[in-house]
Structure 1
Amino acid sequence: MRSVGFNECAATSEEILTIRNSIIKVSKAIMEAKAHVRGFKTDHFLKEAIAEFDHLRNMLEIRPEEVAFQQKREAMSVCPEEYKGSTYGYPFFDKGFEMTNCSFGKKVSKLVTVTLLINAKKINHLRQHLPTLLKQVMDTYGNIPIIVAVKGSKENVDDLFRERQNLKLRYFLSTENDGKILNKLIYEVETKFLFIGRDIEHFDNDTRFERLIREMERQDVKIASGASRDSDGRWTKGCYQRALKNFTLILEEGYDSSSHECLYCDHTYSPFLIYTEFAKSVKFDGNLNDVGIIEDYFLTLMNNHEHQLIVCPDAMFHVDNTISNDIQLWRPFVKKWNVHQIKISSFPTITFPCDYNHCSKITGFVLHPCCLQELSDLIKFIFNFCKEQKMICELQEGTLLGTVKFGKVLPWERDGDLTFLTANYSVLQNIVDPARRAGYRVTDSGGLWCCVDNRTAGGTMQIHSASWEVQLYGQHLMDSEILRSKGINPTQILFDGQWVPAPRNPGLHARNRYGYDIYAHAQHWMDLGKKDSWLKYETRRFTKCREKRRHDCLDQFNGDGNMQFKMIVP
């Protein structure tokens, strides 16, 4: 009789099965997380968790293959292959794995439809290039179905396609978006697989459709691609990992895991093979054109499915694809995904200017960088005025707390707070004209009163930008004045790259103002429905996001720590 490490008699068979399934599910998630982790501490703790789950799995006799996140199957459409040995392909090694004979294998021409999208504005290039490309496709795979979409004028194009039974030609207006065109082409496909021949320049046996189909079926993935080679001979694997957080999209070439000499990827810029039925269910965005359409497609795909893309670099596509840095062409994509920066591997970072309204302050969402920058710029403008006028001004309240915790404005801020020495109130009133020239508006609320320690106290002022208000409160005595009187330099703290005045001990000030657990996170009192900020904050949780899977949802962040709000890695 086998021994058990827990009291089986205390649990029903149904409960044990539930526990078993939960352990399998959690084990899969942890094993996959371990494959993608890059942080040293996270790696350490995941290893500890895996060791504990190994112990639990042994107790429940769960086999290792049950928790493997890379499930393997047998290919059904093409025959298996076998490796002939390391010397078989010597000296060029253009062979080595050879397909065996089988009874179920089908011709690629019965399995795949090739789709091509051509811009007819380049008519001379079209007439010279397309006939050759079509011949290469048919020389490689015989009478394979081909659907060609031509955008623009059909003049002098029809004659290129005569007497080709396997070829369909579709014309579209030059103004029609690529997303709509691709969706229309997909619905005409009748084969099991579909090839999206984006930016393809040359076609030959390097495409290796049989290899891609075999691995799609063996590894149970929906999309397969290969390496790319451009006309200058530059070769890249074509596998990218993705990160979308803090309003930045990062696509970094590389891989975390592999199987059967193929890489698991989040994104590719190479042409790709896809199951037709799957392509019909996960559509291209009809509002997007050439720039951003592939980035959008794989973002959508990875947001809704797991492990849908593999790249097998022994398959190679000859392409002519470039990544545009034209900000205007990126606009539709940027607006849809609400990103501020795009970093694509070795290409220059694309940063989008803050030239339209980003400042939507909705409970449960992180503020856009442009919105936060607007407040930061206003605060720094005020401090620069204070410095020029030799006034004493300091960070205060949530603005100080954000600077202590993040070195900048809190990502969920709702206003700004500064203090000034009441004795400098008349000098501060001179800020009206400089503020107006800078595009700001000033409200002077007065409110001086007497007296504290034989000094006039109070005085309030509000300075407004398009989206923000900074409250300035007068105080009869301030830390910076006290330190100067002792011959000590006032304390400064780094705020958004600029050193600005702060209370003598900013960490102590913030702790005594807000109480317990200040380095964990709590949303603004306005978002919490409170009457003012003088409350006991509940930390370590954020308001539930009203829209699932948005990268700017606050509840996607941990309730503690500031590293997660810095630049991320895929």
Structure 2
Amino acid sequence: MYSLCRKQIRVIQRLLAKAFRHSRSGETRLLIQKTLFKLHSWSGMEEPTFKSNLPHETVKPTVNGTKVEVCPEHYGSAKEGHIDFENVYKKESCDRIPLEQLVEILAYSDSCTQAQHLVKRIRAIYPTLSIQMAMHSGPSDLGSEICLKQLPLVRFHYGKKDVGATWIELAKTGNTKYILVGRNIVEFTHYTDLDRMLRVLHSLHVDIVGGAVRLEPEGRWYAGCYQTNIRNFTIRIQPGHDMSAQSCAYCDYIASPFLIRRELFQEYLVTSDSMYGLIPFVDLFLQFTTQYSGQPTIQTVACIDILFHVAGHNTWRGYGLAETGRGAWKPLARKWSVDHLILPGSVEHKWPCSQVDIQCGYFKSRGMASPGCCLEDLAYCLKVFLKLASKYNLSTFPAEGSNLGAVKTYGGILPWERDADIYWDVYGFQTVSGPIARELAAYPTCNLGSVEYNTIYREDIKRCSVFMKHCLSYTMHSSYWHLELYGLPWMISENLHGLANPTQVYIDGLWTRAMPNPGKAARNRYGDNVLGHIEHWMDYGKATSWTNYTNVEVAPFLPCPTGAVPHSCLQENFLPYGNIQFQDVPV
């Protein structure tokens, strides 16, 4: 019988915890909660909620001469340490591997003076640990010779930038199983407890252990635990946690230095010089939290009692997620094919497709959603034409998928759209070919093509109208799309049914004239349940949009092409119903 390991159970717990937080139905939340309780009881693991003083997993005793990596601890009495609460947990004696054989510290300093101070502080707590120290200053800089003479057991790497390649260089030098990646660390106290971190690695079966941070010299304390998500071509990073155990929060990203296996760090950290400061580490943790089928699951915790002293906001090295500038994030956006970043403190960054190397044509494939910057390009020219039509009193209304998108997404464009469809009053042909065409010249990304006639009567609208179809049309091209502009001899948007004004729908910030009942028009055009999702008819190999293919009650999204950008895949990331999932809502 197949059984789940502890790590797999933790992954299931975290997914259920996130599902619980996202669910809107009370009944759904109760069912998820009951499932979690069942999972906890069957697995024998502690519940993913705070409970004080739960017994930790006991470190296994030495077997056949094999030493353990860390000794166990036990909870003493809070009353004994009620003055400062420093020594309540008691470490037990055991036959263990010396710490200096297990852990090496990696750090970065701007100058030799700072490096010397940091090493002195580390040595006061861990006198025998090896240190790899990168410095911005070179060996010929004033004072650098002090490092060479007065700081033993430290290897210096001069003239280095705070980029991923530097951290990989530091990690390649030593041979301990674990490294403490001292990103932004500027001070050191006994609160950075490496034994506690090793103990958590073993007892919780996680891969990375960090802690809280204290900004120096300001003294401000932060938990430093964040959740991340990539959806709708948007990276969202939000402070907080869903689950905890042994006073450690499960995090997608942590702001602190961290303990990690050396080989794992070397495998995943990107060495690009274009990513600097905290960006390489954001990228590292995004890789861990976006593991797909067949890849190992990497888990991270931040323990509230472990404290790191990091650079404050008085230097650029102390910049946090919200303080890091838009330009610094661009290489990350390029790598992950996103055009939008939402950070703590309501900080947002957006880029046009060209700035983050998003090729819109690549995403016009079955099973894939289009990035927001691509859809904005379509919406821009759509609104330009509608605004000009309104200016010259030319009746128009969105049709086909454009009407469907406005109805289904409450004012947006379908993520799998292929074009836009607008009907306009063909009796205003001279208006389109005249003033509207001339004004469109001021919009270089919206190019109006030549007129195309649909009947032999060309511009004889009265004779054309008997065929009950459009008489002529234009195709407008944006940077990445085409818009079909059909001239009709009748305009159902003018059917007021005794009301004062025509119906309007909302499309990407613009209220525009529409069919009298846009929802009924969509339902009658495509069938029940039109609010369900099905992709563009081209993706199904249909000859026209009039082919009956919309069994939207049960149809799943189509599979994504092999090698596609993972978060663009509809089937893996979205449900075939509901529109909130396409909005930029919090993580």
Change in Cα spacing, 1:43 to 1:184, as seen in structure 2 (3 Å) is farther
TM-score (norm 2): 0.84
Is the 2:16–2:36 contact (alpha carbons within 8 Å) kept by the matching residues of 1? no
| Residue in structure 2 matched with residue 251 of structure 1 by the alignment | 237
2: CA distance, partners of 1:51 / 1:203: 44
Q: Does 1:263 align with 2:281?
A: no
Q: Does 1:435 align with 2:420?
A: no
Is the 2:207–2:260 contact (alpha carbons within 8 Å) kept by the matching residues of 1? yes
Letter in 2 for 1:113: E
| Residue in structure 1 matched with residue 403 of structure 2 by the alignment | 400
Residues 81-160 of structure 1 correspond to what in structure 2 (within 5 A)? 81-100=73-92, 102-119=93-110, 126-151=111-136, 153-156=138-141, 157-160=144-147
Q: Does 1:238 align with 2:224?
A: yes
Give the aligned CA root-mean-square deviation in angstroms. Answer: 3.0
Q: Does 1:313 align with 2:304?
A: yes
2: CA distance, partners of 1:541 / 1:381: 34
| Residue in structure 1 matched with residue 556 of structure 2 by the alignment | 541
Q: Does 1:279 align with 2:279?
A: no
Q: Does 1:33 align with 2:18?
A: no
1: CA distance, partners of 2:475 / 2:229: 39
2: CA distance, partners of 1:31 / 1:146: 37
Q: Would you identify which runs of 4 or more consecutive aligned residues in structure 1 move more than 6 Å? A: 22-29, 52-55, 66-72
Q: Does 1:222 align with 2:207?
A: yes
| Residue in structure 2 matched with residue 5 of structure 1 by the alignment | none
Letter in 1 for 2:477: H
Change in Cα spacing, 1:72 to 1:551, as seen in structure 2 (3 Å) is farther
Gaps of 5+ in 2: 50-54, 60-67, 312-317
Q: Deviations over 1:444-480 (max 9, x none)?
A: 2244451436999612111221212111111111122
Q: Does 1:517 align with 2:522?
A: no
Match of 1:526 among 538, 547, 552: 538
Letter in 1 for 2:22: G
2: CA distance, partners of 1:28 / 1:193: 23
Change in Cα spacing, 1:520 to 1:352, as seen in structure 2 (3 Å) is same
Is the 2:470–2:486 contact (alpha carbons within 8 Å) kept by the matching residues of 1? no
Is the 2:465–2:471 contact (alpha carbons within 8 Å) kept by the matching residues of 1? no
Point out the more displaced range, 165-174 or 491-500. Answer: 165-174
Gaps of 5+ in 1: 1-16, 120-125
Is the 2:105–2:180 contact (alpha carbons within 8 Å) kept by the matching residues of 1? yes
2: CA distance, partners of 1:319 / 1:30: 33
Point out the more displaced range, 519-528 or 224-233. Answer: 519-528
Deviation at 1:388, TM superposition (A): 0.6
Match of 1:181 among 153, 163, 166: 166
1: CA distance, partners of 2:156 / 2:177: 20
| Residue in structure 1 matched with residue 488 of structure 2 by the alignment | 475
Letter in 2 for 1:335: R
Q: Deviations over 1:297-349 (max 9, x none)?
A: 00112223435211111111111121344222222111001222222222622
Pairs aligned (count): 538
Match of 1:290 among 254, 273, 276: 276
Point out the more displaced range, 263-272 or 275-284. Answer: 275-284
Q: Deviations over 1:400-430 (max 9, x none)?
A: 1011101211111111100011211211212
Point out the more displaced range, 386-395 or 317-326. Answer: 317-326
Is the 1:216–1:222 contact (alpha carbons within 8 Å) kept by the matching residues of 2? yes
Q: Does 1:376 align with 2:392?
A: no
SS at match of 1:452: helix
Is the 1:118–1:151 contact (alpha carbons within 8 Å) kept by the matching residues of 2? yes
Letter in 1 for 2:89: F
Is the 2:364–2:418 contact (alpha carbons within 8 Å) kept by the matching residues of 1? no
Change in Cα spacing, 1:498 to 1:163, as seen in structure 2 (3 Å) is same
TM-score (norm 1): 0.87
| Residue in structure 1 matched with residue 569 of structure 2 by the alignment | 553
Point out the more displaced range, 410-419 or 556-565. Answer: 556-565
Point out the more displaced range, 70-79 or 147-156. Answer: 70-79
Deviation at 1:30, TM superposition (A): 5.5
Letter in 1 for 2:85: F
1: CA distance, partners of 2:266 / 2:282: 18
